[in-house]
Chain A
Amino acid sequence: MALRKFRVWRGDGQGGEFKEYDIEVDPGMVVLDVIHRIQAKQANDLAVRWNCKAGKCGSCSMEINGKPRLSCMTRMNAYGPDETITVQPLKTFPVIKDLVTDVSFNYRQNKRIRPFKPGPKGADGNHRMFQEDVDRTQEFRKCIECFLCQDVCHVLRDRDGKDQDRFVGPRFMIRAASLEMHPLDTDDRIPEIRKEYGSGLCNITRCCTEVCPEHIGITDNGIIPLKERVVDRYFDPITMLGRTIFGIKKRKKTLAEGGE
Chain B
Amino acid sequence: MLDVSELQTVEHDVVVIGAGGAGLRAAIESSARGMNTAVISKSLLGKAHTVMAEGGMAAALGNVDARDSWKVHFRDTMRGGKFLNVWRMAELHAKHAPARVRELEDWGAVFDRTKEGLISQRNFGGHRHPRLAHVGDRTGLELIRTLQDHGIHQGITFHMECTALRLLKDGDRIAGVLAYFRETGRFLLLRCKAVILATGGAGKAWRVTSNSWEYTGDGYALAYEAGAELMDIEFTQFHPTGMVWPLSVRGILVTEGVRGDGGILLNKDGKRFMFEYIPEKFAAETANTVEEASRWLDGDKNARRPPELLTRDVVARSIRAEVKAGRGSPHGGAFLDIASRRPADFIKRRLPGMYHQFKELAEVDITKEPMEVGPTLHYFMGGVRVDADTQQTRVNGLFACGECAAGMHGANRLGGNSLSDLIVFGRLAGLGASNYVTALSSQVRADDEQIRAAVRSATDILNRQSGENPYALHEDLQEIMEDCVGIVRVEDELKDGVNRIQALKERVKNVKANGSSQYNPGWHEAISMGSLMVSAEAVARAALMRQESRGAHTRLDYEGERDEWLQYNIVIKKGADGQMQVDKEQRKEPPAYLKEIANAKIEDLEAGKVGQNAPAD
A: residues with CB less than 8 A from B are 12, 26-30, 33, 39-41, 44-59, 73, 75, 96-98, 100, 103, 107, 110-111, 115-116, 118, 125-131, 134, 137-138, 141-145, 175, 179, 182, 184-185
Contact = CB atoms under 8 A, between A and B. Distances in A.
Interface of B: 43-49, 51-52, 102, 105-108, 110, 112-113, 116-119, 135-136, 138, 141-142, 145, 149-150, 152-153, 160, 183, 212-214, 245-249, 252-253, 353, 356-357, 360-363, 469-472, 513-516, 518-523, 525
Chain B binding surface SS class: loop
Given A46-B521, A55-B357, A129-B117, A30 B248 contact: yes
Given A30-B361, A39-B471, A44-B522, A57 B47 contact: yes
Given A28-B246, A134-B113, 10 more contacts: A12-B518, A39-B471, A47-B521, A53-B252, A54-B249, A75-B361, A116-B108, A118-B106, A131-B112, A185-B108
B149 A100 contact: no
A1 B458 CA distance: 37
25 contacts: A39-B522, A40-B471, A40-B472, A44-B470, A44-B520, A51-B213, A54-B52, A54-B361, A55-B357, A57-B46, A57-B51, A96-B518, A100-B183, A100-B519, A111-B152, A115-B150, A116-B107, A116-B108, A126-B102, A127-B102, A127-B106, A128-B117, A129-B113, A129-B117, A130-B117
A51 B106 CA distance: 29
A27 B149 CA distance: 40
Contacts of B117: 128-130
Contact of B141 (A49, A103, A144, A185): A144
Given A27-B246, A59-B44, A54 B252 contact: yes
A46 B105 CA distance: 41
Nearest to B520: A45
Nearest to A106: B44
A51 B141 contact: no
B142 A56 contact: no
A52 B150 contact: no
Contacts of A175: 149
Contacts of B213: 50-51
B138 A142 contact: yes
Nearest to A26: B247
A41 to B, nearest CB: 8
Given A73-B361, A130-B113, A131-B113, A48 B248 contact: no
A179 B118 CA distance: 19
Which of A53, A54, A59, A141 lies at the interface centre, i.e. has the most chain B CB atoms within 10 A of its CB?
A54
A56 B138 contact: yes
A141 B142 contact: yes
A116 B44 contact: no
Which of B108, B160, B361 lies at the interface centre, i.e. has the most chain A CB atoms within 10 A of its CB?
B108
Contacts of A39: 471, 521-522
Contacts of A30: 248-249, 361
B149 A97 contact: no
A73 B106 contact: no
Contacts of B212: 50-53, 57
A56 B52 contact: yes
Nearest to B183: A96
Contacts of A48: 521
A81 B352 CA distance: 31
Contacts of A143: 145
A39 B112 CA distance: 41
Nearest to B472: A40
B360 A75 contact: yes
A145 B117 CA distance: 28
A116 B145 CA distance: 12
A153 B446 CA distance: 48
A111 to B, nearest CB: 5
A46 B523 CA distance: 11
B52 A97 contact: no
Contacts of A41: 471
A49 B514 contact: no
A186 to B, nearest CB: 12
A49 B44 contact: yes
A125 B101 CA distance: 12
A142 B353 CA distance: 10
A6 B107 CA distance: 45
B118 A126 contact: yes
Contacts of B516: 45
A229 B356 CA distance: 33
Contact of B149 (A49, A98, A116, A129): A116
Contacts of A131: 112-113
Which of B112, B153, B214 lies at the interface centre, i.e. has the most chain A CB atoms within 10 A of its CB?
B153
A52 B246 contact: no
Contacts of A96: 183, 518-519
A22 B321 CA distance: 41
Contacts of B361: 30, 54-55, 73, 75
Contacts of B252: 53-54
A111 B116 CA distance: 34
List the 4 closest A-B pairs by CB distance, nearest first: A28-B246, A44-B522, A45-B515, A116-B108
A45 B521 contact: yes
A121 to B, nearest CB: 8
A78 to B, nearest CB: 10
A47 B107 CA distance: 35
A59 B46 CA distance: 10
A138 B146 CA distance: 12
A51 B47 contact: yes
A136 B149 CA distance: 19
Given A55-B357, A115-B150, A29 B246 contact: yes
Nearest to A179: B108
Nearest to A134: B110
A231 to B, nearest CB: 26
B214 A97 contact: no
Nearest to A116: B108
A190 B46 CA distance: 26
B43 A141 contact: no
A128 to B, nearest CB: 4
A28 B249 contact: yes
A68 to B, nearest CB: 16
Nearest to A126: B118
A41 B514 CA distance: 13
A49 B43 CA distance: 8
A140 B97 CA distance: 26
B357 A54 contact: yes
B45 A107 contact: yes
